[in-house]
Amino acid sequence: MDFELSEEQVLLKDSIDRFVKDNYSSEDRIKLSQTDLGFSRDHWKTMAELGWLGMAFSEEVGGFGGGAVETMIMMESMGRGLVLEPFVSTVLLGGALIAEAGNEAQIEAIIPELIEGNLMLSFGYAEAQSRFNLNDVETTASKSGDGYVLNGTKAVVYHGGTADKIVISARTSGASRDADGISLFVVDTDAAGVDIRSYATVDGQRAADVRLENVTVPTTALLGAEGKAGPVIEKIIDRATGALCAEAVGAMTAANEITNEYIKTRKQFGTAIGKFQVLQHRMVDMYMEAEQSKSMSDMVAMKLDLGYEDDTRKAVSAAKAQVGKAAKFVGQQSIQLHGGMGMTDEYSIGHYFKRLTTIEMLFGNTDFHLNRFSNLS
Amino acid sequence: MDLSFTNEEVAFKSEVREFIENNLPADVKDRYSRGIHFTKEGQERWQKILNSKGWLAPNWPGEYGGTGWTATQKYIFAQEMGRASAPPPMPFGVSMVGPVIYTFGNQEQKDYYLPRILQSEDWWCQGYSEPGSGSDLASLKTKAVRDGDDYIVNGQKIWTSHAQHANLIFCLVRTDQDVKAQEGISFLLIDMDSPGITLKPIIGLDTEHTLNEVFFDDVRVPVKNRIGEENKGWTYAKFLLGNERTSIARIAQSKLRCEHLREVASAERVDGGLLQDDADFMRKLNQIEVDLMALEYTELRMLSKIEHGETLTAEPSLLKIKGSEIQQRLTELLVESLGMYGAAYEALEVREGRNDQNFAPDYAHGPMAEHLYLRAATIYGGSNEIQRNIISKMVLGL
């Protein structure tokens, strides 16, 4: 049992910390998030050159063989700077699905390009009625000639507007909410019948609603066995949830540091407000929530590297439930402790609050994961 | 980073589990699992069994009778003890004064006191709090004045747990009035049979006698019973408090309480069904389980730091705060699980003296006793508010 990083892992962490320090000042990030794209293609190139896009892939598919722990390290550091590039969408969702379920030809065609930084992906799984239930899929795919015809609407697809290809979950058999009968398709975003409506999300990122109207895809677009994608989706979303917990830890740690610094300098009644015990104790509670989240995030990363069992699923939900609760508390109290300054959009703390707010919802909110934790016992 | 146990650690776990299963007396286990107070005889019997195996004081250095275990082994041992409802040794000797003696005591003190702790020959109690000195411990007034080879001690201690069983008390006393409060304190080991000591029981919320007042009236204490230097007692006192905090998170025991709650919820009937089908109730339990898991991995993360040679600062305070809050929430929920039988309560002696027990399920006996007693968990060992002050100062620099 060991929670310490290896030398190589420390180097990885240092390099991302440096990238964040050099490129993600609060002003830089605000500017970047206000561009049409919402992130920087130059940064994406840098991330490819430094090997980060290939870190999470196994050597068999051309990656660098890092595990969930390496992903955790990267995500925590990126969380500190609220990095905007579509790392989760491209690498941890789209790319991971292809590496997990794809055949040789599909992997060959996509993963090396992705690792090089030439191809961006996204994952459309949620629908308006599905909330967080991954099996609630009403989008359909019907067999037709040499391929499938897809119909349906995917909701809040992060980075759907900038992706070259979107992995879409669709029902090939069974009733809506059946675990069985869900399939995955790799759909080109410029295919006929694909209608992508991109918009901003509150955390400074971009998402899209994706409507598929009689979109024809060849059988080679099918990822894995027909109707058997349910467990694959659950596994990849669980792994991404673990990574999201790490991002939250980074964001909470930074928010706490900023807030702690603020209450040390802000003066009222002739003294730094950090001298008031009521604020000290609040700050301690924020610190403890972040620390406990860090413990859960580390635990989940290590567990994911040991395999994917029932107790791994339970651990992911426990971690997300802790992180969701902590993200809300730390985010909201950071604003409270900043007083009026916390309400201004040009100051950094609000952006941490907004990202932490969306992290609480992403891949299932706190209630959802507490219930899942319970049902898995 | 690696979460797995080595083969040796897995084997060690089986060894510990087997030993406890074969050796923990049933009556000791029953009292502890219910959350009711031990008997001195039972506690002593169990401590002697542990000591015969060499496992009474895993945290002590090997030369004084410790086990030489790694932090992971200590964690496994604590988990197995908790899992089996095996009470840990009384903390006052093993976890509190023992480490002070082997860290700051002289050779003669080590040679005399340490073996007696291991063999359960001495029962210690803790003379820290005073009527006017609770959270502000350094303001203590109990006075020790030199008279030849003795100190003459006058004053009063309060909230002294289990002092009625103790033959020795470690005491913070004021030896210099004219300096800053922290700089005039000394650490004395005092025989409870000394002339001039009187004990007065305090009956607690649970209508049991665990707490006491201890009065010192011209009590003669040999100077050789002082630990370390005169007026340096505050250093030793703080060292002791740091050790105390880590031992009161009681994570393994809380895990067992969670399991017990699930059992009760599968037995208690409500609205024609079972309590375990009540979503509101189960949600509270699940939230506690998640919180407990977060605490457990926080403790493991700290142990990992220790194994890598890092020194902890205020992390034990986090364990104390979160551990004690969870203990309280668990016993509160346990009482809640009993419905109106939560209200039935009599002190142990009264209950055991009856021939006509009520018709409540067996598990209904115990939770309220523990619920009442554990209200102290967020107060003792430095209140949780004081722990927050410590983190605020040491970690956040506020």
Element (H, E) at A48: helix A41-49
pLDDT tops 90 at residue A127: yes
Per-residue pLDDT, averaged over B280-290, amounts to 96
Question: pLDDT digits over B342-388, tens only?
Answer: 999 988 888 888 888 889 999 999 899 999 999 999 999 889 999 99
pLDDT tops 80 at residue A187: yes
The answer to whether the CB atoms of A9 and B396 lie below 8 A apart is no
Question: pLDDT digits over B16-31, tens only?
Answer: 999 999 999 999 999 9
Domains annotated on chain B, with CATH: 7-89 (1.10.540.10), 124-231 (2.40.110.10), 248-394 (1.20.140.10)
For residue B324, the chain A residues in CB contact (below 8 A) are none
Instruction: Please name the fold of domain A7-120.
Output: Butyryl-Coa Dehydrogenase, subunit A; domain 1 (1.10.540)
Per-residue pLDDT, averaged over B332-341, amounts to 96
Q: Do B233 and B186 touch, CB atoms closer than 8 A?
A: yes
Quote the CA–CA distance of A262 and A114 in Å, as a whole number: 41
Q: What is the largest CA-CA distance in chain A?
A: 78
User: What residues does A158 pair with on adjacent strands?
Assistant: A207
- Residue B4's pLDDT band (cuts 50, 70, 90): confident
pLDDT in the model for residue A370: 96
Q: Supply A274's token pair.
A: 């950090």
Owner of token pair 């909201």: A332
pLDDT in the model for residue B247: 64
N-to-C CA span, chain A: 24
Distance from CA of A72 to the nearest CA of B (A): 11
For residue A294, the chain B residues in CB contact (below 8 A) are 301
Instruction: Please name the fold of domain A122-227.
Output: Butyryl-CoA Dehydrogenase, subunit A; domain 2 (2.40.110)
Q: How many CA atoms lie within 13 A of B327 on its CB side?
A: 23
The answer to whether the CB atoms of A374 and B286 lie below 8 A apart is yes
Helix A277-306 vs helix A310-338: angle between axes, to the nearest 10 degrees?
160
Q: Do A1 and B5 touch, CB atoms closer than 8 A?
A: yes
Distance from CA of A17 to the nearest CA of B (A): 19
- Asked if this assembly's ipTM is beyond 0.85, the reply is yes
- DSSP, residue by residue, B292-314: HHHHHHHHHHHHHHHHTTPPPSS
Domain A231-375 has what CATH class?
A: mainly alpha
Q: How would you label A161-185 residue by residue, b for 16+ Cβ within 10 Å and e otherwise?
A: bbbbbbbbbbbbeeebeeeebbbbb
Strand, coil or helix: A272: strand
Say yes or no: A327 contacts chain B, CB-CB below 8 A: no
- Residue B36's pLDDT band (cuts 50, 70, 90): confident
Q: What is the pTM of this model?
A: 0.94
Owner of token pair 């470690």: B170
The answer to whether the CB atoms of B5 and A4 lie below 8 A apart is no
**A323: nearest CA in chain B?**
B294
At A56, the amino acid letter reads A
- What are the backbone dihedrals phi and psi of residue A5, each rounded to the nearest 5 degrees, phi first? -80, 150
Say yes or no: B1 contacts chain A, CB-CB below 8 A: yes
pLDDT in the model for residue B311: 83
Question: pLDDT digits over B45-83, tens only?
Answer: 999 999 999 999 999 999 999 999 988 899 899 999 999
Of B1, B72, B318, the CB nearest to A69: B1
Quote the CA–CA distance of B339 and B360 in Å, as a whole number: 11
Mean pLDDT score of chain A, rounded to an integer?
A: 97
pLDDT in the model for residue A253: 98
Element (H, E) at A197: strand A194-200
Question: pLDDT digits over A8-39, tens only?
Answer: 999 999 999 999 999 999 999 999 999 999 99
Question: pLDDT digits over A270-328, tens only?
Answer: 999 999 999 999 999 999 999 999 999 999 999 999 999 999 999 999 999 999 999 99
- Residue B188's pLDDT band (cuts 50, 70, 90): very high
Q: Do B317 and B391 touch, CB atoms closer than 8 A?
A: yes
Of B5, B282, B396, the CB nearest to A284: B396
Question: pLDDT digits over A50-96, tens only?
Answer: 999 999 999 999 999 999 999 999 999 999 999 999 999 999 999 99
Q: Supply A306's token pair.
A: 């040991």
- Residue B307's pLDDT band (cuts 50, 70, 90): confident
Q: Do B214 and B191 touch, CB atoms closer than 8 A?
A: no
Helix, strand, coil % in chain A, rounded to nearest 5: 55, 15, 30
- Burial of B195 (C-beta count, 10 Å sphere; 0-12/13-18/19+): exposed
Q: Supply A27's token pair.
A: 């002003």
Q: What residue spans define the domains of chain A?
A: 7-120, 122-227, 231-375
